[in-house]
Amino acid sequence: MVILGAAGQIARQLTVRLLAETDLNLVLYGRHVSQRLARWAANDRVTLVDGDFQDQARLQAALVGTDWSI
């Protein structure tokens, strides 16, 4: 599952709940997430992708292999 704008307040709360209550693998996408969400880097269910919504190629690459229809 991809969470866009993952460094935002609501997205952070969602990430905590999804990791605690599901077995989903998460792709956290947003500006400077590798710095802003560094605490999740060690979690094997989390992939951090730095990017913005203007970079369509990076955004499409982040969606590959994910079930974003949930």
Helices then strands, counting H and E runs in the chain, come out as 3, 3
**Average pLDDT score over residue span 35-47:** 94
pLDDT on residue 20 = 97
Q: Is 9 helix (H, G, I), strand (E, B) or coil?
A: helix
Mean pLDDT of the chain: 91
One-letter amino acid of 16: V
Which tens digit of pLDDT belongs to each residue from 49-69? 999 889 888 888 888 887 754
Q: Where are the domains of the chain?
A: 2-63
